[in-house]
Amino acid sequence: MRSLNHPPRNRLRIASLLAAATVLLAGCAAPGAEPGGDETFTLTYVSYLGENTPIGLASQWWADEVAERSDGRISVEMYFGAALLPPDEVYAALVDGRVDVAVTAPVYYPEASPYTEVGMLPFQTKNAAASSAAMNQLAAESPELDDEWAARGLRTLTYIAPAPHVLGTQIPLESWKDLAGLNIRALGQTAMVLEGAGAQAVAVPIGELYESLQRGIVDGYGHIWFDLAASLRLVEQAQYLTDDGIGVYGMSHLLTSTALWEELPADLQAVVGEVSDEFAVTVSEFNVDTDIQACEVIQEAGTELNIWSDSEVSDYRAEVEESVIEGWRERIGDASAADEFRSRYLDAVETYEAQYSDQVPGIQRCLESLGG
């Protein structure tokens, strides 16, 4: 059995084999890859998320499916919740061979990945499955996304949009204007959104958020997944959850190194690619189960749920969105190219929203179950 916890190797640029959610990678092996025989591989897989989150559950599903479909030729050692290394070291660890496969989020890294950020802009969709499929379609159709990661010796196997986000606070929010003066834990572009509404964004590690709420360091937290607000028991310290319309924010991806990918035989590349293509939809399926469990915790905590009206979200968006989009255009470096790329993303999202029309945000599902 070969372990792929390897030292650095010479890395060659290879063509993108990313596929849209409906296109499998089987038969699309890297140039020069040969079919395997009896050789076996042990892969180290890390996730910055806990094993009982939707992405964590899907990660274990991925490992099990890869092992089964490869007839045991690939086995996977799993490490959840940043247990093996912190999120901001994952990219380097993939390249130098400390780990082999990872789920992580570009938001943890200062390096530019502006095209990937198209799926991280606010107010675009509340449908995680549609966002994931749109990103994977763009990755299959054009080189921008692949180029960002290939330049670092990395290869994205699939993009994974998280569940729609919620805003947790210690006071009720009837309007975006109620955010003014509040200290809200926030990262990335959601920090820009909240500051545009008059809040003060505060950087607090997620593991310290419960205590920060308890001690009054922050008045709430900006934009995490509905189920995470429950599983971290944040609803005990911030008893108002609001859907402010920001929707699916952020983008995770499942990735490996180009060096490791080239080392896998063609038939095992096909297995990994096929299972990876099914990853994002599997996450969405787990979202339903974890949302139901979260709703029970939220009900026990006496948390109040609120979804802002379309008109309120429209006013909020008009106030805060343009500065976020303009900052993204600047990171792309070409406003026309940025707008064209985002237009293609939004067109794809609209198509996939129709395909995945059964997707319902957790806060909406919970309100409906409570008769709200």
pLDDT score recorded for residue 28: 41
Report how far apart the first and last C-alpha atoms of the chain are (Å, whole number).
56
- Reported as a single tens digit per residue, the pLDDT across 214-237 is 999 999 998 888 998 998 899 999
Retrieve residue 307's tokens: 């979804």
For residue 27, pLDDT over 80 is answered with: no
pLDDT score recorded for residue 293: 92
- Reported as a single tens digit per residue, the pLDDT across 247-267 is 998 889 999 999 999 999 999
Split at pLDDT 50, 70, 90, the class of 12 is very low
Q: Are 156 and 148 in contact (CB under 8 A)?
A: no
pLDDT score recorded for residue 35: 55
Retrieve residue 137's tokens: 């379609």
- Reported as a single tens digit per residue, the pLDDT across 65-106 is 999 999 999 999 999 988 999 888 999 999 999 999 999 988
pTM for the model:
0.86
Distance CA 125, CA 353 (A): 9
Split at pLDDT 50, 70, 90, the class of 137 is very high
Q: Which residue ranges form the domains of the chain, and what is each CATH number?
A: 165-248+294-369 (3.40.190.170)
Distance CA 134, CA 237 (A): 36
- Reported as a single tens digit per residue, the pLDDT across 238-251 is 999 999 999 998 88
- Reported as a single tens digit per residue, the pLDDT across 287-329 is 988 999 999 999 999 999 999 999 999 999 999 999 999 999 9
Split at pLDDT 50, 70, 90, the class of 36 is low
Split at pLDDT 50, 70, 90, the class of 189 is confident
What CA–CA distances, in Å, run from 77 to 47, 163, 291?
11, 26, 27
The runs of H, that is alpha helices, within the chain are 54-69, 90-96, 128-141, 144-150, 188-196, 209-214, 226-231, 258-263, 266-277, 279-301, 310-332, 335-355, 362-369
Distance CA 251, CA 116 (A): 8
What percentage of residues in the chain have a pLDDT greater than 70? Answer: 90
If you count DSSP H runs as helices and E runs as strands, how many of each does the chain have, helices first?
A: 13, 12
Split at pLDDT 50, 70, 90, the class of 32 is very low
User: Taking Cα atoms as reference points, which of 341, 357, 124, 120 lies closest to residue 249?
Assistant: 120
Q: For the chain, what is the mean pLDDT?
A: 88
Identify the H or E element spanning 340: helix 335-355
Q: Are 232 and 185 in contact (CB under 8 A)?
A: no
For residue 153, pLDDT over 50 is answered with: yes
